[in-house]
Structure 1
Amino acid sequence: MKIVIIDYGAGNIKNVKFAVERLGYQAILSDDEATIRTADKVIFPGVGEASSAMRKLDSTRLSIVIPTLKQPVLGICLGMQLMCKSTEEGSTEGLGIFNVDVFKFSKEVKVPQIGWNQIENLESTIFNGIKEKEFMYLVHSYYAPLCSASIAQTTYGITYSSALQKDNFYGVQFHPEKSSVAGEKILENFLKI
């Protein structure tokens, strides 16, 4: 199986690669359109700032490529947020895969949310073997509200989408590569789709 992790300068790709390797698979880091299009599975990670990440995607044409992919695609953290219509972070237009806008947490909660929190209302095969209210590791200041694409939710001041799915596109706000055994199980489930 050819697994490609999109390398567009938004950090944390090595941790994702190591997590995939711990599951017994190999992964390629690439920003090459042909390499990405011929992958069996694509992982779109991200740690960083939305507007600079989108500029990088635009400069490499990946902002055009990613929404047209037909194989399973998993967006992680900023990757998931960039798959949405827009984000308040840097007033950034997203890829428009998920029909939802991303907003900053209110000042009533500590921002960013850093640490372990629960996911619930799990509604996808990527959560096979994961129990309701399992803890996942999150680091983020922005969130996607609950919407028709929500397949998991988390509460932090408000209840928001901690995972989204539309057709072959999946997104998780949490970091499965940093979420111990349960996070690796979600990655494994994605790779077995």
Structure 2
Amino acid sequence: MHGPVSAAWLLVALCAGTGAYCLLRMRSGAEEQRSEAGGEALMGFGMAVMAVPAAVFTPPWWAWPVYAAVFGAAALRALWAVRGGPRHLHHLVGSTAMVYMAVVTAASPPAAAHHGHGGGMPPLTAALLLYFAGYVLLAGARLVPAPGTPARTDPVHWGDRPELARACRLSMGIGMVAMLLTM
């Protein structure tokens, strides 16, 4: 990721923390939580690695094709899961966005990555940016409790709390917006 180093480190921390929480959610008693948490953990850790400032660590040339292959496999898994319902579409878009960013990063010469494009934003980047910006707004609105909603009093295992899972998805959406803005 190219941009302010302090913002990059904050993004690394946010994504790594989200990935770690998603790993813990994999121990949930609810099958739906476990199945989604693995893909979200992969996305969180993958975003954290991609967000490490280029001034600190520049991955070897072979890392980006490997990255694209891993997230390509995740995209295929999400595509297969979409058969069961549209709730997996977001995972498909996220994994595809990671493949896109890995391919663009691999194709960009290092000097050009620091100086911008000069020709405007590529249409696919703009489309992904619009998608994730909309997702962030919608996910943020879903976290706000409706007026008159009673406070939850039933004991729920922390890994099974849907609002924490939504907060993780929101933070990864914010991270994706930040990463796409640097493309």
TM-score by length of 1: 0.30
TM-score by length of 2: 0.31
- Return the structure number with greater strand share: 1
Who wins on radius of gyration, i.e. which is larger? Answer: 2
Greater share of helix: 2
